[in-house]
Structure 1
């Protein structure tokens, strides 16, 4: 068997990367909606602004981390 025939083709690798980009993009959208829900929840419970800011910082970091991973994945596709 030829080793080249068992390696994934460029198109197959690109499909995997595109699927990963789509998944990460959906994750970013999910984090953003989580942030809005958290904001509403904390305000409805009468939590302080500091509580919201701390929770918001954690979610913002998760969004940034996901965005960075998304950017690196897009670069790999190109």
Structure 2
């Protein structure tokens, strides 16, 4: 079983800070975290704050399905 955490909250509530701290903790403990970011806009600035070693899939413009086809590939299988 793979643990999944969902972070949500208002603008400025600390989601990115919590995510950064969680990723650091997991990596220090030998885990291999991955992130799926659902961004309402068409630019994801939070991605710049995440370590490049962590795989990130971005769903821009309010996409609500990580399995939605983008071109010829699916987002979630890229993380696996």
Query: Which TM-score applies when normalising by structure 2?
Result: 0.33
Larger helix share, 1 or 2: 1
Query: Which TM-score applies when normalising by structure 1?
Result: 0.33
Larger strand share, 1 or 2: 2
Larger Rg: 1
Greater RCO, 1 or 2 (C-alpha within 8 Å, sep 6+): 1
